[in-house]
Chains A and B, each alone.
Chain A
Amino acid sequence: MLSPERLALPDYEYLAQRHVLTYMEDAVCQLLENKEDISQYGIARFFTEYFNSVCQGTHILFREFSFIQATPHNRASFLRAFWRCFRTVGKNGDLLTMKEYHCLLQLLCPDFPLELTQKAARIVLMDDAMDCLMSFSDFLFAFQIQFYYSEFLDSVAAIYQDLLSGKNPNTVIVPTSSSGQHRQRQVLGEASMEGVEASLFYQCLENLCDRHKYSCPPPALVKEVLSNVQRLTFYGFLVALSKHHGINQALGALPDKGDLMHGPSLDEELERLLVPRSPGLIQLGHASPEASWPAFPDPSRLAPLEALHHIPENDGSTEETDD
């Protein structure tokens, strides 16, 4: 009923915590982009539609990347939109490459940076060649961690590198052995000696979570992930995060892995998602949903791979997918 902390915060902090100004500013920008709409529907109606679409999470569709990543709510909304739009890929069991997933992302966000998709793919593929095929759910959960906790993971990577280089983990763990032996053992690829010590790593991460101003996964769950192993590598850690269903639940954007393909019929979902409710869609024209998709036909009527070939050609950054 009441959360008193909210009432005790200074005004500016309350607004910042809930990103009220971010959305108000964006609402004004959208309004300026769509001046024709307000003469027709009125300003109050425009703002009603805008804030409703923010609540429903449809406000991020086809928006620029800087906006999509601006708030945790936007990130979660984008993840949900990506999942809902392209579930068919998973349902059909199609395996796609990193570049193909990147094209799917660009259908929803034209300037989505390739670097983020690459990082997500690296979590799935580890050190394998980057042109390997991935299943939809593997990619989706890896992408979720990478996209939602992007800033946190950057800090984690820096900590990991520090631990690797600053201290010599080998001598710490096995004080009796000489460095020569180590080199040999590492050449042999002994997995247990790879990476950093989990407990030490956790201490650093706990610190990081405390002072991190961006979203980070719940520290208790990070601890759980790290307490199961002695040592681990950076990508080993990311894989564990992406597969942890508690973290998925805490993030709240996607269902459990088992339920990814269930739920209301895909067509229904798509229909709901594509009804032009948000101001962003109003600008596409005031006609039916189909008419507002000039560059690619209604994806619900297409097999996903077919949809890939309808990627707008005029977008220079889009990768070729015909091979």
Chain B
Amino acid sequence: MAVLPVPLPSAKMAAVEKRRAAMAPAANFTDSGRPLVSRAAAAAESEEDFLRQVGVTEMLRAALLKVLEARPEEPIAFLAHYFENMGLRSPANGGAGEPPGQLLLQQQRLGRALWHLRLAHHSQRTAFNNNVGVAYECLSASGRKKKPGLDGRTYGELLKRICRDGEAPEEVVAPLLRKIQCRDHEAVPLDVFRAGMLTCFVLLEFVARAGALFQLLEGPAVAVADRRVGQAVLDTLEGALQASDNSAAPACYLEAGSRLGPDSLALAMDRAMSGRRPSTPMTREEFLEKAAALFIAKVKPVG
């Protein structure tokens, strides 16, 4: 969408005044019953004070910083969620004043942590790390009786929620959870938490991409792929991942990239097609599971 100019800050007040003026006919149009607040010339100043006093200025500043940090594709929807979450958080806006039960509180904390984690994509590492930190604090600040800190149970529950919301099949992510989960009563330090969250989000994206890859491989209208081709792709992927074991960081990225390039991939698929006999087709689940296993094999287990 092309850009329409945003009013410059200097034009701000003028724009506000114009809006006021334009609102007058609208007010007539709706009802004369609604009291029209008289606006003096000094209103602008007192309005600024008013906004500061009730906390709007600070609230918007924080929201804008979050937007800039996360750079969401849809900033307006992002803001709607942001304020919605904030409304849930402050008890003044909760409506009913009763204190929620422990279980509900726990759910709310999980929801809030998830929301923070999703604010920025994991590739925006600084923003993501900040959000992981905030989520960790959310979860650590538990009820009055308990000591602060995050236990393995809550951490595990959060991991499960992320995987479930990520729509990855359970059997695909289960091996990862086994690797990075902590015991229920173990305390989870921040760096373990951060590594776990990052791995989980990266795996979900990996699975999503593998799913897209499978869609290209599957025959039209049959929803299964030729086993020979599928296996060739998986083998190539495995080879590329193994390359990273042998050489230093920048070189291994290049090598992995070249192994996964369209030409060598096509060659491998072609060889597989002509070399072996067709056997039972490969389903999407199997493909995803095997692809994820390649990834998970690289993940270091906790402890």
Which residues of A are at the interface with B, using a C-beta cutoff of 8 A?
1-3, 6-7, 11, 14-25, 28-29, 31-33, 35, 38, 41-45, 47-48, 51-52, 54-55, 62-67, 70-73, 110-111, 212-216, 283-285, 292, 294-295, 312, 314-315, 317
Contact = CB atoms under 8 A, between A and B. Distances in A.
B118 interface: no
B28 A72 contact: no
A35 B59 CA distance: 16
Nearest to A21: B6
Interface in B215-238: none
Task: Provide the main secondary structure of the chain A interface.
Answer: helix
B12 interface: yes
Contacts of B64: 20, 24
B59 A6 contact: no
B4 interface: yes
Contact of A51 (B3, B5, B77): B77
A110 B29 contact: yes
Contacts of A38: 54
A7 B23 contact: no
Contacts of B213: none
A1 B73 CA distance: 9
Contacts, number: 157
Contacts of A62: 26, 29-30
B167 interface: no
A64 B23 contact: yes
Contacts of A64: 18-19, 22-23, 26
Contacts of B148: none
B93 A213 contact: no
29 contacts: A1-B208, A15-B68, A17-B3, A19-B6, A20-B64, A24-B64, A25-B7, A41-B93, A42-B90, A43-B54, A44-B84, A48-B80, A48-B87, A51-B76, A51-B80, A54-B80, A62-B30, A63-B26, A64-B18, A65-B22, A72-B1, A72-B2, A72-B4, A110-B26, A214-B4, A215-B2, A312-B28, A314-B28, A315-B25
A24 B60 contact: yes
Contacts of B5: 16, 213
Interface of B: 1-7, 12, 15-16, 18-19, 22-23, 25-26, 28-31, 33-34, 37, 47, 50-51, 54-56, 59-60, 63-64, 67-68, 71, 73-77, 79-80, 83-84, 86-87, 90, 92-93, 121, 123-124, 205, 208
Contacts of A111: 22, 25
Nearest to B76: A54
A217 B159 CA distance: 46
Given A17-B3, A55-B80, A285-B34, A33 B29 contact: no
B3 A22 contact: no
Contact of A23 (B30, B55, B76, B208): B76
B93 A215 contact: no
Contact of B6 (A7, A15, A54): A15
Closest 10 interchain pairs by CB?
A64-B22, A51-B80, A44-B87, A42-B93, A47-B83, A215-B2, A48-B83, A44-B86, A48-B84, A294-B31
B80 to A, nearest CB: 4
A14 to B, nearest CB: 6
Nearest to A215: B2
A322 to B, nearest CB: 19
